[in-house]
Amino acid sequence: MPFREESFKSILNVRKTINPWFWDKYSVNPYNGCQFGCVYCDSRSSRYYLPADFDNDIVVKSNAAQLLENRLKRARTLLPDVVALGGTTDPYQPAESIYQISRQCLEVLNRHGYPVHVCTKSRLLLWDLDLLESIGRQTWCTVSVTLTTSRPNIARFLEPRAPVPEQRLEIIRLIKEKTGHVQTGILLMPVVPFLTDRASDLEDLIRQAVQAGADYVLFASGMTMRDTQALWFLSNLQKRFPQALPHYERLYEFVHDPQVYRGRYHPLSSYSSGIEHLLQNLCDKHHIATRVKRYLPGDYRRENYRIAEKLFAMAGRAQIAGRPWSKMFWTAHDIQRLKVSIKELDREHLEKELGRADGGLMQLIEEMLADRSPNGSQGGV
């Protein structure tokens, strides 16, 4: 396997808005390209500008830790907040056993008191449980393990060089056994139409996650398809499961052309909403949260983040149930962007800052501030 060590000019990406699924404000990707070779990976699309030979041409960001150290040392305008380690590519792909770039970055984040959310499929993460526990004890740490199916044959097609599902469930078991301050669960992303979306398979996966000790199941409502990523996926699908191709043509509204993809990014909304309803009901049945418990900083943002977390959870439930949700969702974003504590604002100033919120939503926010919020909203259980 060829590796290319390269020096980069920057390593810390800053989001315009905090992601309400993963809670990350920042992200760090120690590698470009990914050895696991997942056929559905959105990072294969042209928008990421990653190596054309995505599975084999692995770029090692050799100066990542030093860049991160320098950035955080001179970060006059940055406040500690959740850093997503990985996301574009797996931070614990096999290259990590040689270079340990992810561990070096975690050491920097630990020194500077930044909370971390790691997304991975790899058992190599277990090497760093001591460091992850230290981060969790000091601030907040979450490990999300991607698990799309419990069927080994389907997993081998979708994720040809990733650890098998049983090994990924073992990651969760060991995190729960060996740490006390690391939150962990599964990323049931993507739900792959025709291959992983049977109700019985999804319930089996959720049941096994619960048995492994997972704190949550994060799910998405289908698989996205975009330009070069879609072409790669459809090419592999046609070779292995040709009977599925017409199903995709209907679901994503395209006529297959091996040279160009002209279909939808998301599957039809009727399919997506059905998957969301099913997964929410299954998680409710097995009493597992569908959101990650949020990092709450010790400064003026603490109450803002607490209220926003509850509103995001309620908006997510409302969206799945087909009720109005967008006003609540965007108000939550407005609250977590406030530059002062929401507790310091009187009603007049609060209404000015939260221009999208109507009277009913303002009353709900005031009830939350008085700790009279609806039971069960925090964490999305």
CA dihedral 92→312→319→375, nearest 10 degrees, is 110
Instruction: Give Cα separations from 328 to 163, 187, 325, 333, 365 (angstroms).
Output: 39, 24, 6, 9, 10
Handedness of CA 32, 38, 39, 40 (dihedral sign): negative
Mean pLDDT of 139-152: 97
In the block, tokens 């509103």 appear at 311
pLDDT of residue 52: 85
In this prediction the pTM is 0.94
Per-residue pLDDT at 285: 98
Helix axis angle for 199-212 and 269-285, nearest 10°, is 40
Asked if the model's pLDDT at residue 197 lies above 60, the reply is yes
The residue type of 300 is: Y
**CA 92 – CA 323 distance, rounded (Å):** 39
Model confidence over 71-115: pLDDT tens digits? 999 888 899 999 999 889 999 999 999 999 999 999 999 999 999
| Cα distances (angstroms) measured from residue 291 to each of 21, 35, 42, 212 | 7, 29, 22, 17
Q: What's the pLDDT at 239?
A: 97
Over residues 15-46, the pLDDT tens digits come to: 999 999 999 999 999 999 999 999 999 999 99
